Structure 1
Amino acid sequence: MSGSVFHDVTRDDAQAIDDCWNRIGVLGDKSCPLLAEHIHCRNCSVYSAAATRLLDRYALRQDDREQVHAPVDSDVVTRSLLMFRLGEEWLALTTRSLVEVAPLQPIHSLPHQRSRALLGVANVRGALVACLSLVQLLDLEPGSAAASGGRIMPRMLIVAAQGGPVVMPVDEVDGIHAIDERILAAASPSGDKYTRGVLPFRERSLRWLDEEQLLSAVARSLS
């Protein structure tokens, strides 16, 4: 779950797409003759076309790849979960599907969005990455809970989807916690296909997400 992992999964995209915004655009030497007209690269049709090619690549890779599931070690007594908040709801996702937690980046919308969940693209270390709304994917109520003290920092989760990494903005990240498998096994059923169970954690009701169902929803949103 490091920057090098993110670099590996985005390297092919960066090589195949002419990232002129990094060379002669706002992130480069600003010598692009189109900057005078568009002011910023995100307003340029070249940038939009690159984002569209990126989304097309997600769809193509989903057809070519078989989903690989990490083996479960029966001797493991804890499981690492990332705890985060969306609106007033706390959720947990297994860390094996997580690349990293990143600072919030500007999201650039695209014309002719392919689904309600697709917010647009974000520029993460010079690479265009599809940005999805977990609120839409999980059909949650939008909104933010009142801060309980301390500094609340919205973040972006970079998740390893089948066609390549995707980013998902969240309102707050609590951290990664090792949860006893016996507690997870005793989690209350929710009846929601995206939730493996509901369990108490630090006086909260925590939804433990089903990563396979979530990644399938991500794939459908990008196809």
Structure 2
Amino acid sequence: MSTPIPPEERRHDAGRAVDDAYLHEWAEHFRAPLASAERADASAVAFRIGAEWLALPTAMLLRVAPHAVPHRVPHRTAHGMRGLVNVGGQLYPCIALAELLEIDADGGSVRTGRHTFARLLLVQWEGRGYALPVADLYGIVRYAGTRVQPPAATINKGAQRYLSGVLAEGDLRIGLLNAAMLGPQLARALR
């Protein structure tokens, strides 16, 4: 298999013999890191609630499960607490992020070319599991920390205090949730 010659260099290499020096030069060229490449040093699982695209650090994610209707727990009316869901024989408290973040859970556009349906994100904070209902799941996003931008001042004030930044991923603007801020709110919903 021969190494392709970039068009700008073809006219210079037309008469050059393929010797060890030539092969070494091209090996070094392809071995060198791209100058514009960013090193992905973080990852998050991106999902949609209403019209908002959000993401949680992948370290919190246990698994993704099919949507389940929560069973109400008597005398538990904390903000965001929906009840309990059974996933694989284990009970998880179901916490509505839409209520915690003051996001309208209705609405949002379905992305074309994909099957979109509600799911549960099973996450963990300080050893306790939680089920978070989401309208759509984008998947895992790997990114460089330098790509994270500060949240816009126009973002919903309820959600803004939980955001560590905003990430542009294709045509999406994904709000990165701060686990250290959100985790205690999940635990508080159980009280």
Amino acid at match of 1:165: G
Q: Percent identity?
A: 30
Which residue does the alignment assign to 2:133?
169
Paired residues of 2:151 and 2:175 also in contact (CA < 8 A): no
Matches for 1:1-223 after TM superposition, within 5 Å: 77-149=40-112, 150-162=114-126, 164-184=128-148, 187-190=149-152, 192-223=160-191
TM-score, scaled relative to structure 2: 0.71
Q: What is the alpha-carbon distance in structure 1 between the residues aligned to residue 161 and residue 110 of structure 2? A: 29
Which residue does the alignment assign to 1:23?
none
Q: What is the alpha-carbon distance in structure 2 between the residues aligned to residue 221 and residue 159 of structure 1? A: 14
Paired residues of 1:104 and 1:156 also in contact (CA < 8 A): yes
What are the superposed Cα offsets for residues 130-183 of structure 1, whole Å, 9 maximum, x if unpaired? 110000111112213232323102110111122510101100001102111211
Q: What is the alpha-carbon distance in structure 2 between the residues aligned to residue 162 and residue 114 of structure 1? A: 22
Q: CA deviation at 1:188?
A: 1.9
Greater share of helix: 1
Amino acid at match of 1:132: I
State the secondary structure of the residue aligned to 1:107.
coil
CA root-mean-square deviation:
1.7
Q: What is the alpha-carbon distance in structure 2 between the residues aligned to residue 207 and residue 102 of structure 1? A: 22
Structure 2 unpaired stretches of 5+: 1-38, 154-159
What are the superposed Cα offsets for residues 113-132 of structure 1, whole Å, 9 maximum, x if unpaired? 23120000001111221110
Q: CA deviation at 1:77?
A: 4.2
Q: CA deviation at 1:106?
A: 2.3
Paired residues of 1:109 and 1:120 also in contact (CA < 8 A): yes
Q: What is the alpha-carbon distance in structure 1 between the residues aligned to residue 67 and residue 165 of structure 2? A: 28
Amino acid at match of 1:136: E
What are the superposed Cα offsets for residues 5-35 of structure 1, whole Å, 9 maximum, x if unpaired? xxxxxxxxxxxxxxxxxxxxxxxxxxxxxxx
Q: What is the alpha-carbon distance in structure 2 between the residues aligned to residue 219 and residue 195 of structure 1? A: 18
Which residue does the alignment assign to 2:12?
none
Which residue does the alignment assign to 2:16?
none
Q: CA deviation at 1:102?
A: 1.1
Structure 1 unpaired stretches of 5+: 1-75
Greater Rg over alpha carbons, structure: 2
Q: CA deviation at 1:206?
A: 1.3
Q: What is the alpha-carbon distance in structure 2 between the residues aligned to residue 167 and residue 128 of structure 1? A: 9
Q: CA deviation at 1:190?
A: 4.4
Which residue does the alignment assign to 2:17?
none
